Structures are given as structure tokens and as C-alpha cells.
Amino acid sequence: MSYALSVEPANWWVGMKKNTITLMLHEQNIANTQFKLLPYQGVELTNATRTENPNYVFLHVTISDTAQAGTLKFNSSDNNNFSFSLLERTKNSAEREGFSSKDTVYLINPDRFVNGDKQNDTVSGMLEKVNPTFKGGRHGGDIQGVINALPYLKDLGITQLWLTPVLENNMPDYSYHGYAITDFYNVDPRMGSNSLYKSLSIKAKDQGIGLVMDMVLNHFGAEHKWMKDKPSKDWINFNGEFKNGKNATSHARQTIQDPHASEYDKRQFNDGWFVASMPDLNQRQPLLSEYLIQNALWWIEYADLSGIRVDTYSYSDKAFLTAWTKAIMDEYPHFNIVGEEWTSNPAIASYWQRKKVNQDGYTSSLPSIMDFSLQEALIQALNEEESWSTGWVKVYQSLANDFLYPDTDNIMVFADNHDMSRVYTELKQDLAKTKMAMTMLLTTRGIPQIYYGTEVLLDNTPSKDHGDIRIDFPGGFEHQQANAFTGEDLTADQHSMHTMMSALLHFRKTSPALTNGKLTHFSPKNGVYSYARLSDEQTVLVFLNKNAQTINQELDYMKEVLPHNTKAKDILSNETHMLKSKLTLKPMSATVLVINK
């Protein structure tokens, strides 16, 4: 097989802290080619690295502070010359603000959200065609659809978008989810293009919405050119072989922290493949490590990102993870990165957060982590009968474990996501419970993440198939009657849920107590969980009543956060209450009271 010359990355920027970059060149028998950089002030080709594969050369280029934007010209001994662009950075790029507890993140599976461009549903050269009637197939949603939905998302009160991966996934089937990437530098043409993705970022920012990119460091798609032509023999773990599952990951994430774990078990977790279609990358390979670091910095700068979500975070080599996150945070000190560590054990999850002092001496640079403990506890709390060990106490205990985290404000909280049944489904299609769940997530500590369609009660009952969990958003596709964008043909419950969530989201955007206030919670009593968010300017009180009857809640226990005879407004009902000795709580309800000082 012959290969045309490819150069990755396609460009870089002047004024970056990361001023030594590595260009990956791929072409048939390129290893014997010698390269020379024509004179360019402030830029030097320092050396080249070659591996045992004759089809790759890695050029190491240093860009000094004196370099200006322009075009680098590389001449080669076989006259296959190429140019490389150095660009100006966007003003104040390094000082960009990442997503934070001031935000609410809206998670979208783009293929299932809105079909904004029917012309790209099926694209020549892509292995999988559109198949909207198959739950595991491509349904046609795309980046243009997300752009079209921006006014709706702004009206809802969203401030950040997290899209599951939109990069090329040229796989023969189940490519819609995006996690088997076959090109780390190009958007899948069925989703749009790099320029359209950049346009989404610009147009979202115009609506006050940031863009969070979903990145995959642990694995890639088996149709990537690296499987046919590995850059080096150690580029892929277990010699690039799945061996009928013998080299599959154990998913035993506790081996990373376990002081008694064997090296065999550690390797089986870190180096093992998810499935045959997702080969596992060896981040201990220095050239691959550099490639992944540069790729992340390139997308942040190119698309003006406000954050990154890292898939299967702990499955990658942990020394590499520190280097990767540190490189990003050094370049963008106010940026944010959240890692997926799917465990309900906060002792394991907290290990990865920046500034955690770990027993084994491991130092992480990851700012944020996902709170699977609270997600699990919340579902259990709302489905269980109340007792000393069940019900709301599960949530209370989960949050009580916050002493394990160095930064509890920078934890991402959620009721569901693209890999689990929807919250409305898990709560047995109970509107009142779903409202309580979302009220809690939007008022507790941390950064709330909402899965698309929660605001209109999307449901995957009775199936747990991922294709049903990632169902089409109502109004995003021609065949649907219900339309969440216009409200047409939505049920009364869907309208009620949407109204409540929008009210909370808009209040949250302007509430100092919810965005950066201290959390003080009280041990659940008689089916009621209550807590306060406290800032200098404002107090927010939250009461979650799981009882099927009205409760006259005694307030004496809240004296430390609630002055006597205080007037408060219920932001969900707009009622005003004089808080004396008792507060009436409606059956199966969430009450959110605000006291402005």
C-alpha cells in the first residue's frame, strides 16, 4: 500500500508556551528522506526521529518567542517539499476561562440531537451509511443541528455544551457514538467539518455558551491507519493484538491505588483493550505521548474550547496523564478538564484530582472529576424507602465523603449520561422524583451536567440498549410529531418539567450562592433532605420532601444558616414565605427558597 504525504498537526501558533513541537510525517518509505527547514527567523529544525517503520519521520521544531506568523518551508532530499503554517493566536487565548461551578453543562449525542444538514447523512468513502430506523445506526444528527439549536439552549439556561466525539469514526458499524476515532485531527464529514465545528464554537460563544470537547486518550478505532501501518512497534498495547479477548481490559480500576496490586493486574487494566474494534494506545511511547499532548492543545487553540472531557480517564498510563494535563494547564492556567472515572468509590475518584496528596506519591494535574458516587446515591435515595440506612441518607453519606477531594466545587455532578439509563427511566417515570433529582443537581455543590432531553423527560423504558438511551431529540428529525423546540405535541408532564428546569437554570446563572457558595447540609429526617448554599450576598435553602403527604417542617435545627423571621421567595412557585418556626412542604416536592442579604 502506498501513502501520500501527510503532516500532523497541520499548523501551529506563535506565542505558545509549548514552543517545541513534533511533526508526524507519513509517506511510503519516507525514513530515508532528509529534511531541511529553509531559513526562518526564530524557528529551528532541531532534529528528526525515525522508528523501525520506514513510512514515518518525526521532525522536532523549536519556535522561539521572536518568531512571527508566516509559512515554514521544508525541503526534502526527494523533492517532496511541504509547507507548514505558523498562525497568530487569538487575543488573550492563554487567559481563557474554562467551565466552572458557575456553569451548567448540556451533554449531547450529536447524531441523535438535530439533523441540520441532510446532505451529509451518507458520505461517499465512509463505511457506515445513515440508517435512522436502527437503534445502533447513524440517524443523521450533526454539528449544523447543534448550531440550529443554540437559541433553544440559551433560552433553556445552558452555559456549556459537551458533545460526544465528533471526530472521524470511519468504522463499519456503531460509529454514531464517536469513541472509535479514526482521525484525531479531522471532524467526521457526516458531522460536518473542522471549520463548521469552529463555527459552532464561535456562534455558541455569541449566545453565552462555551464548548467542551470530548477527547479519547486511551484507545482509537480499528480502521485508523495506525492499525495497518503502526508508527512504531510499541505504539499499540499488547503488540496490536486483541487475541480473542485474552488481552481485554479487566476494568479493575482499583489496581491503580491498591498498594498490594500485582504488576500483572495493573497492566491488564491499563493496557487491555475495551473491545477488538478499539485498540489500546501505549502512552508510554514518547512520540505517541507528544502526539496526544499536541493534539489537545491544537484543538483548544483552533476551536477556542472552554474545556475538555476525557473519556475512560484512568485507563491511560498515569504518568502520561499527569504530563498531558500539566501541559494543557500550563498553557491555559484558567482552563478546565474533567476526567471520567466510573466508580462509586470517592476514594478512587479523588485520587485523580489536582492537589490530592496520595499515599503512593502520585501527583495529578487534573482539575475536575465526575461524581459517579453522587449519581448512584441519588437514584437509590429516590427509589428506596426511608430508613436509617436507606433513602436520602445515601446522598448525605456520599456528600459527606467530600473530605477526600481537594476541590469540591470542581466536581461534575449528574443524574445520568450517554452510557446509562436516563434519570426519568431509573425513577420509574415518576415526574415528582425526577424534579427532585434535577433540583438537587442544580443546587448542590459542583458543576451540574444535564443529558440532552432530560428537560422533556426522554425515556428509554423498558430497554437499556445504548441506542435507546441515546434516542432522537423530539423536533430534531422529520419523522417526529413532538417538538421540544416549539413545545408542540409535548405532554403536560413534559411541559411541566421543562418549565421547572428552565426556571432553575436561569436562577442558577445569577445566583452567587449556587455558583460559589458554601454547602451546609443536614441529616435527613422523616423523608426530608435539606441543605443551604451560603454566600456573602445570598442564602439558598433547599428542601426535598419524599413523603406522599404535606409536611410541616420544623426549622429550629437550621438556626445556624437561617435567621429567625426571615422572608424568603420560592423560585419555583414565586410564593413568599415568612420563615418562623415551621415551613409547609408539599407532598413529593422540591422547595428552593432564596434570601437576598
Q: Name the residues annotated as catalytic.
A: 311, 340
Give CA separation, 161 vs 10, 169, 207, in Å.
26, 21, 11
What is the rounded CA–CA span in Å between residue 335 and residue 47? Answer: 32
Interhelix angle 318-331/286-303, nearest 10 degrees: 30
For residue 462, cis peptide bond before it (omega within 30 degrees of 0): yes
Which residues make Cβ contacts (< 8 Å) with residue 378, sequence separation at least 6? Answer: 394, 395, 415, 437, 440, 441
Strands 160-163 and 210-216: parallel
What is the rounded CA–CA span in Å between residue 38 and residue 44? Answer: 9
Burial 510-548 (b: 16+ CB within 10 A, else e): ebbbbbebebebbebeebbbbbbbbbeebbbbbbbbbee
Give CA separation, 318 vs 50, 98, 181, 310, in Å.
26, 23, 21, 13
What is the rounded CA–CA span in Å between residue 562 and residue 525? Answer: 18
Residue in 516, 506, 496 with CA at minimum distance from that of residue 154 = 506
> Which segments of 188-255 are extended strands (E)?
210-216
Integer distance in angstroms from the first to the last C-alpha of the chain? 72
Instruction: Tell me how many degrees the CA angle 294-178-469 measures, rounded to the nearest 5.
Output: 140
Residue in the block written with cell 460559589: 516
Output the furthest CA–CA distance in the chain (Å, rounded).
87
What is the rounded CA–CA span in Å between residue 595 and residue 591? Answer: 13
Evaluate whether 211 touches 306 at the Cβ level (below 8 Å). yes
Compute the chain's Rg from CA coordinates: 25
